[in-house]
Structure 1
Amino acid sequence: MFWAAHFLAGLAVVLAWPAPVALSRAKWPTRAPFTAMILWQAIALAGGLSMIGAMLVWGLDPLGDNLVEALGRFGEMAFANQPVDTLGLVHVFALSAAGLLSAHLIFTLLLTYAKIRGQRKRHRDMLNLLSSPAVNRPATLVINHPTPVAYCLPGGARSVTVLSDGLLDLLSPAELDAVLVHERAHLHQRHHLLLWAFAAWRAALPWLPTSQLAQRAVNELIEMLADDEALKRVQEPVLARAIAIVASGSLPDQQGDFAHGHSLAVTALAPGATPDQDAGATLNRIRRLLTPQPPLSLPQQAAALGASGLLLVAPTLLLVAPWVLG
């Protein structure tokens, strides 16, 4: 298991720095946002698995030729209260680090979920007081505010899309239809779950380039996915104008009210976003619509998806059967 630990550690380093940096600078994700989203998820999952797995395999190396055997031996020692003379100080340290990191990631994931759920509850309570149902538009609320605002509030069967009077006054019927389809796409495609996971990943490891770059990229990619859904109903210039109008109200006022023209799923789950990043993402979305690029070819998409699958399979094989490497 010695070589398996080194391979996992090397893979963790690659996925923590050069891989996310290279993907964040690539131009092709705007041509295939779904494929890019899959690849970002694979990098994050494989990176975490490799990081924890390297420490786990290193710590259990003296107890067996593979992880299953070593874990069984470690369990016997723990339950039988046997001495752990086989394990040196470095192995105990590695096992402790793997356990602490795993607990930290799980705890941060749950804590982030609790915070987001609390934010949504408070926001929904405010909406109950300050909004009214939209006429002839189910699961849509209207708030009395002059700033162009459109966002979705996830909540299962209670999910709603929120619009402002200011937005309704500015949009044409086609543009309003595009905005509604866009926001509902966030809900139907469960984008809030992706954002929750990546927000927790960044909160747990804020110093890691993977967590920072991935959250920023995923925020932008889900908007592009929702844009693609809206394009099934309207033409590119119509959607681009609607995006520009909504984005004009993207900066919150001093009271922190509803004046933030992006999806609540993004602003609530990714509190680290800055106005400059939001503005840059909006410009990228509009540029993508007004100067469309050809989609990735099938071989290119297959290569990206294959790389995603390989990233997930390789650490798993090294953990389950590290004896393959000697």
Structure 2
Amino acid sequence: MVSAALLSLVAVGCVLAMEALHRAEWPSRGPYTAVITWQALGLAWGVSTIGALLAYGLSTYELGAAAGLLALVTDVVSGELVLTELSRGLEGVSHIAAVVLAIALTLVLFYGLVSSFVHVVRVRRRHHDLLELVASEHPDVPGARVVDHPAAAAYCLPGVLRSQVVISAGALAVLDHRELAAVLAHEHAHLRQRHDLVLLPFSSLKRAFPRVPLIRTYYESVALLIEMCADDQARRTSSSRELAMALLRFGAAGPAPVPAGAMAALEASAQAGVVRRVNRLLRPDTELPYHAGAFIMGGSAFLLASVTCLWHIPV
């Protein structure tokens, strides 16, 4: 029961840490570190929550969550599990309920991840096919395709074989050449670093628990940090002012809704984050110190290692 209690504490601690991270100011100074921290906390929460349920439900084996799970499979095959636990009365029923809940949570999380991936792949495939019909090359926009649409839009469609950056005619009308180059650099950063895969676990959580506002809030926090990561990459080839002006011009023109499965320089639903991004570009804070980033990354690695060890505590 000790492992169940410790894993429960870790799960609660992860939720508190995510709330603190959501409210903290330092992530904008080190968005890459913050995104990895979000991933570590999310993974640790899922593994520790499932582990706590299993450790309690399988406590009669006195083997821990991992070894107890193997013993559970053996007893299920032999048909001894249900009879043994039910003979223990209410306590045995609670153990069975905990194991069932752990399996159900695992299936829900797995379903969210797989269904999100399949949905995104299908939507992107259809959109790629549509772009072949309506988009065209443009001499002023190398490495991108142009759609004849009056709304200001710039987005990318990630893919293994067919990654594309798309710019609308409305965007070309409001951006000058340097601002356009900054936007293209931003979108290519999304493709090069596969930010869509970084965001996938959080979008799958949002899909698995659509009625939980807190998950949507945390998803938006991670999405904003990913945009900041792309902004930082764009600043290596373009000035911060050019990218900030491009974002402001998109906002003034009224950005078009982003197609499903795409990642945009500016989404119509993320206007609040645009102000933070523009302020960050025009009045940048000092970057997160190296030693602070190393400490946070080390803490994230230690958290995941601790959760793994707690799965094997045989008490």
TM-score (normalizing by structure 2): 0.90
Q: Which residue of 2 aligns with 1:60?
A: 58
Counterpart secondary structure, 2:249: helix
2:257 maps to which of 257, 260, 263: 260
Q: 1:36 aligns with which of 12, 34, 37?
A: 34
Q: How many equivalent pairs are there?
A: 307
- 1:260 deviates by 2.9
Report deviation, 1:118.
2.4
- How far, CA to CA, are the matches of 2:134 and 2:146 in structure 1? 9
Distance 2:298 2:214 in 1: 20
Select which of 110, 113, 117 maps to 1:106.
Answer: 110
Question: In the aligned structure 2, how far is the partner of 1:199 from the partner of 1:263?
Answer: 12
Where does residue 124 of structure 1 map in the other structure?
128
Change (3 A) 1:92 1:133: same
Contact 1:152 1:263 in 2 (8 A): no
**Would the aligned equivalents of 1:178 and 1:234 in 2 still touch at CA under 8 Å?**
yes
User: Structure 1 residues 68, 14: CA separation in 2 closer, same or farther (over 3 Å shift)?
Assistant: closer
Q: What amino acid maps onto 1:58 in structure 2?
A: Y
Match of 1:247 among 234, 246, 251: 251
Could you tell me how far 1:84 is from its partner in structure 2?
4.1
* Offset of residue 42 of structure 1: 0.7
Provide the residue aligned with 2:119 in structure 1. Answer: 115
The correspondence of residues 1-326 of structure 1 with structure 2, limited to 5 A, is 2-16=1-15, 18-87=16-85, 88-135=92-139, 137=141, 139-206=143-210, 211-249=215-253, 251=255, 259-260=256-257, 265-266=262-263, 275=269, 278-320=270-312, 322-323=313-314
Q: Structure 1 residues 23, 13: CA separation in 2 closer, same or farther (over 3 Å shift)?
A: same
Helix, strand or coil: the match of 2:284?
A: coil
Separation of aligned partners in 2, 1:260 and 1:250:
9
Kept after mapping to 2: 8 A contact 1:145/1:164: yes
**Unaligned ranges ≥5, structure 2:** 86-91
Question: Deviations for 1:232-289, whole angstroms, at most 9, x for unmatched residues?
Answer: 11111111101212334555xxxxxxx237996347xxxxx973xx111111000001
Q: Return closer, same or farther for 1:262/1:71 CA change in 2, 3 Å cut-off.
A: closer
Distance in structure 1 (CA, Å) of the matches to 2:148 and 2:175 = 16
1:249–1:260 contact (8 Å) kept in structure 2: no
SS of the equivalent of 1:234 reads: coil
How far off is 1:300 after superposition? Answer: 1.2
**SS in structure 1 at match of 2:146:** strand
The question of whether the paired residues in 1 share the 8 Å contact of 2:206 and 2:219 is answered with yes
- Which whole-Å CA distance do the structure 2 matches of 1:181 and 1:264 have between them? 19
Whole-angstrom CA distance in 1 between matches of 2:80 and 2:154: 62
- Superposed CA offset, 1:83-117 (max 9, x none): 54443111110110111111111112111122222
- Contiguous gaps of at least 5 residues in structure 1: 252-258, 268-272
Compared CA separation, residues 208 and 179, structure 1 to 2 (3 A): same
Task: Tell me which amino acid in the other structure corresponds to 2:180.
Answer: L
Residue 129 of structure 1: SS of its match in structure 2? Answer: helix
SS of the residue 1:157 aligns to: coil
The one-letter amino acid of 2:4's match is A
Structure 2 counterpart of 1:254? none
Deviation at 1:170, TM superposition (A): 2.4
Equivalent AA in structure 1 for residue 58 of structure 2: L
- Whether the 8 Å contact between 1:112 and 1:196 is mirrored in structure 2 is yes
Q: In 2, Cα distance between the equivalents of 1:282 and 1:136?
A: 26
How far, CA to CA, are the matches of 2:200 and 2:155 in structure 1? 16
Deviation readout 1:282-325 (Å, 9 max, x if unpaired): 110000011110011122112211221122111111002x13xx
TM-score by length of 1: 0.87
Shift of 1:214: 2.5
Q: Once the two structures are superposed, what CA deviation does each residue of 1:25-54 show, in whole Å capped at 9, x if it has no partner? A: 111111000000010001110000111111
Q: CA RMSD in A?
A: 2.2
1:210 and 1:3 map into 2 onto residues whose CA distance is 29
What code does the residue aligned with 1:303 have?
F
CA contact (8 A) 2:209 2:215 kept: yes
Cα distance change, pair 210–50 in 1 and its aligned pair in 2 (3 A): farther
